[in-house]
Amino acid sequence: MTALAQLARPGWFGQYYPFTAMGNLCFSDGPEWWMGTGTVLSVLIVVCPDGGYDVWPYNPYPCIPADAEPQLSTNSAAEALTEAQRILQSPGPS
C-alpha cells in the first residue's frame, strides 16, 4: 500500500482523496465522502497477498460482483495506478 500511496500523491491522483476500505486503495472526489462532501470513484486497487495489485473498475460500495474479473493484475504499483487512471478517464457505458 505504501508504494501505491507514494506514487499516487504527487501524480494525477493528487487531485483526489485516497482512503482504504478492507485493505483496498480507493479514491473520492471530496474529503468527507461519508458525510456527503464527495463521491467515491468507480475504481479500486487491491493489494494482493503475493505483493501484486488487482485493479477493479468498481466503486467498493457495494461489493464487487462475485463473477467479476479484475481489469488488470500486475506486480507494478505504477502500472496499477496507470490502469486506474485510464478507467476513470474512460467514458462510461452509453
**Model confidence over 31-65: pLDDT tens digits?**
888 888 889 999 999 999 998 999 999 988 877 88
Q: Assign residue 67 a region (left: φ > 0; alpha: ψ between -120 and 50; beta: otherwise).
A: alpha
**Secondary structure tally for the chain: helices H, strands E:** 2, 5
Q: Give the per-residue pLDDT at 41.
A: 92
Give the pLDDT band of residue 94 (cuts 50, 70, 90): very low
Q: Give the per-residue pLDDT at 92.
A: 64
Exposed / middle / buried, residue 53 (Cβ in 10 Å: 0-12, 13-18, 19+): buried
58 vs 7: which has the higher pLDDT: 58
Amino acid, res. 91: P
Percent of the chain clearing pLDDT 90 (strictly above): 43
3 vs 90: which has the higher pLDDT: 90
- Average pLDDT score over the chain: 86
pTM of the predicted model as reported, rounded to 2 decimal places? 0.85
